[in-house]
Structure 1
Amino acid sequence: MQQIDQLAEKIFLIDNFDMKMKERTGTYVLAEENLTIIETSASPSIPFIIDGLKKLNFSLSDIKYIIVTHIHLDHAGGAGLLLEQCPNATVVVHPKGARHLINPAKLIKGAKAVYGEQFDELFHPILPIPENKILIMDDKDELHIGKECTLTFYHTPGHAYHHFSIYHSVVNGMFTGDTAGVRYPELYKDGVELYLPSTSPNQFNPEETLESIKLYESMKLDYIFFGHYGMSATPAKVYQQIHTWLPIFLNEAEEAYQQSTLMSEQIKATKERLSIKVTEHLQSLGIGLNHPVYNILALDISVCSMGLIDYLQKKYEAVKHL
């Protein structure tokens, strides 16, 4: 069943059913004079986006801008496939991500290395985007999409080097992709707000994450719009939880890293340690072990553990060469 939520007067959220999961990854629709969407998810999500746009009474030829916060495949993998059906659209991307959308060979190779036989089901096809259909937005660049609506782009590394966030002037909100972490709407329905850092490989950097969070804080935002998933009207809680959980993630990964020299064992131990920490926290808030959120958390914690150990390996390798 298609899910579309109206978050503000001209802002809608389409559920992409990424990885066949409800409320996992979403596409934001900005219904301004220049119709704009933010995030495409992977190619298997494109039919859900198209269906959602039809339900909102928009045609694909209406789309002017397709914005991706970064080029990870769960945010931008479907951009090429969608663009094929949007004759008047341009894809907006970070300067460090543009070449990988034009030639996605490295993205495909990297994803196949991680996902193996699951690649086709999760991501196929990943289509190249013509260079003349790419619009690069640098730090603090602006894009006017309506008479009263301007989007401003900010470099926000931490999750990835090729990541920007998009400030929406009308609602005083920021589309943060993965930089501000992950929101769990399944828990929100039970009165629990949980926001966890997204530390996936291979460009995670905690110092840069905190600098990006500091930027958000300085702007006194009213709303944060997450890549995963939905909107928070309590940005202060988002920042507080990232500040709380990021040191926990790093400390647990450090303990696991020091206990073994095998990367696979380090990742496994990190996953186990983080799972215990998050589960204990949720149980203290009355969330039982039968709650469906734990299936989603298991996936996220697994990917986060890979990124944390990758970060620590690079960190200690750099120390060796000093």
Structure 2
Amino acid sequence: MTIHGIHTIDTGFVRPQFDAAYLIVENGRGAFIDCGTNFSVPRMLAALDEAGITAAEVDWLILTHVHLDHAGGAGELIAQLPNAKLVVHPRGARHMIDPSVLWAGASAVYGEAVMEQTYGRLRPIPAERVIEAPDRHVVDLAGRPLLCIDTPGHAKHHLTVYDARANACFTGDVFGLSYREFDTSSGPFILPTTSPVQFDPDALHASIDRLLALHPSAMYLTHYGRVEHVERLAADLHQQIDAMVALARAADGHEYRHANLVEALTDLYAGRAEAHGWTQGREALVQLLHMDIELNAQGLAVWLDR
């Protein structure tokens, strides 16, 4: 379903309907928001065909932040878009021009072989094609303004794109994760993402409130897709950020801190999912959320240690 010229692209990362990028088309010109990994590039180009525009008619690739499930394929995609510029938070720009530090940091966690297999080698982007987007920077897509809002909390280099035409925000990871498998008659289910290494609960609360003040009718999440019920979801996120911080503090100093935190987070999400009307049970929840629970536990630990 295409609303206001917005096309949802499944990047193919991890599993179906896990990782989204977006294409906005206005007056025959295009802007991508996020792009997945190198292996997502064919899907991004196929989306242009489906939307009826060419690679030469794409003016922008806007990144919400430079984590590799959002931006790993940026260099390869930009190389296929002859007229496009990359728009990125000022703190993220250098990592797109020279991705060696980004690669080294992720490789230290996952190992080179896994990095190559999961993301593909990162391709640098020429500096002249990179535009830094400070707070309230406006990207002009054929007369359609796309407002870039500084939204730290998940990462210091995170921006959200507000599209006034659609009255919607493209939120990257700052407005949490909402997988369609958890939808019930009560609507979408959501949880925050605190993945390493820059989680900041106060900043995340403030960023969510800043987006809510725009009164958007929908949020377009990377993980995954368009969600409405915005005010209820924001309240859910605020409650869970506080609950996760409390669980992290309770686990701090324990010999098995990480394992305790994983178990406590699983209990939190399973309880909330059941209250939301999700009936498939704890084991099915762990199957879908195991990676997110692990990353959230790691991110909370980094925050505690900081």
With normalisation by structure 2, the TM-score equals: 0.94
AA aligned to 1:313 is D
Q: Counterparts of 1:160-175 in structure 2 under 5 Å?
A: 160-175=155-170
1:201-238, Cα deviation, whole Å (9 max, x unpaired): 11110000011011012111111111111111211022
Structure 1 segments unaligned to the other structure (5+ residues)? 315-322
Choose the corresponding residue for 2:300, options 298, 302, 308: 308
- Alignment match, 1:31: 25
1:196 partner SS? coil
- Alignment match, 1:73: 68
Q: Is the 8 A contact 2:176 2:192 kept in 1?
A: yes
AA aligned to 1:279 is A
Q: Counterparts of 1:42-191 in structure 2 under 5 Å?
A: 42-116=37-111, 117-147=113-143, 149-188=144-183, 191=186
Once the two structures are TM-superposed, the CA of residue 115 in structure 1 deviates from its matched residue by: 1.5
Choose the corresponding residue for 1:283, options 261, 271, 274: 274
Structure 2 segments unaligned to the other structure (5+ residues)? none
Q: Matches of 2:46 and 2:58 in 1, distance apart?
A: 14
1:286-316, Cα deviation, whole Å (9 max, x unpaired): 42238755323111011011000000011xx
Choose the corresponding residue for 2:8, options 13, 20, 25: 13
Q: Matches of 1:270 and 1:167 in 2, distance apart?
A: 34
Q: Matches of 2:89 and 2:282 in 1, distance apart?
A: 40
Q: Matches of 2:60 and 2:285 in 1, distance apart?
A: 33
Q: Matches of 1:53 and 1:268 in 2, distance apart?
A: 44
Runs of 4+ in 1 over 6 A off after TM superposition: none
Q: Counterparts of 1:192-207 in structure 2 under 5 Å?
A: 192-207=187-202
Distance change (3 Å), C-alpha of 1:298 and 1:292: same
AA aligned to 1:234 is H
Q: Percent identity?
A: 29
Q: Is the 8 A contact 2:247 2:264 kept in 1?
A: yes
Once the two structures are TM-superposed, the CA of residue 9 in structure 1 deviates from its matched residue by: 2.7
2:252 partner SS? helix
Once the two structures are TM-superposed, the CA of residue 185 in structure 1 deviates from its matched residue by: 1.2
Q: Is the 8 A contact 1:70 1:97 kept in 2?
A: yes
- Alignment match, 2:236: 241
AA aligned to 1:295 is Q
Say what the alpha-carbon RMSD is for the aligned residues.
Answer: 1.6
1:57-93, Cα deviation, whole Å (9 max, x unpaired): 2222221100100011111110001111111111110
1:24 partner SS? coil
Distance change (3 Å), C-alpha of 1:308 and 1:49: same
Q: Matches of 1:209 and 1:90 in 2, distance apart?
A: 28
Q: Matches of 1:293 and 1:84 in 2, distance apart?
A: 39
Q: Matches of 2:176 and 2:10 in 1, distance apart?
A: 18
2:117 partner SS? helix
1:36 partner SS? strand
- Alignment match, 2:288: 296
1:227-284, Cα deviation, whole Å (9 max, x unpaired): 1111112110221110111111111122222322xxxx32222111111221122234
Q: Is the 8 A contact 1:183 1:196 kept in 2?
A: yes
Q: Is the 8 A contact 1:176 1:225 kept in 2?
A: yes
Once the two structures are TM-superposed, the CA of residue 56 in structure 1 deviates from its matched residue by: 2.4
Q: Is the 8 A contact 1:186 1:293 kept in 2?
A: no
Compare relative contact order (CA 8 Å, sep 6+) and give the higher one, 1 or 2. Answer: 2
Q: How many residues align?
A: 303
Q: Matches of 2:259 and 2:40 in 1, distance apart?
A: 30
AA aligned to 2:289 is L
Q: Matches of 1:211 and 1:144 in 2, distance apart?
A: 27
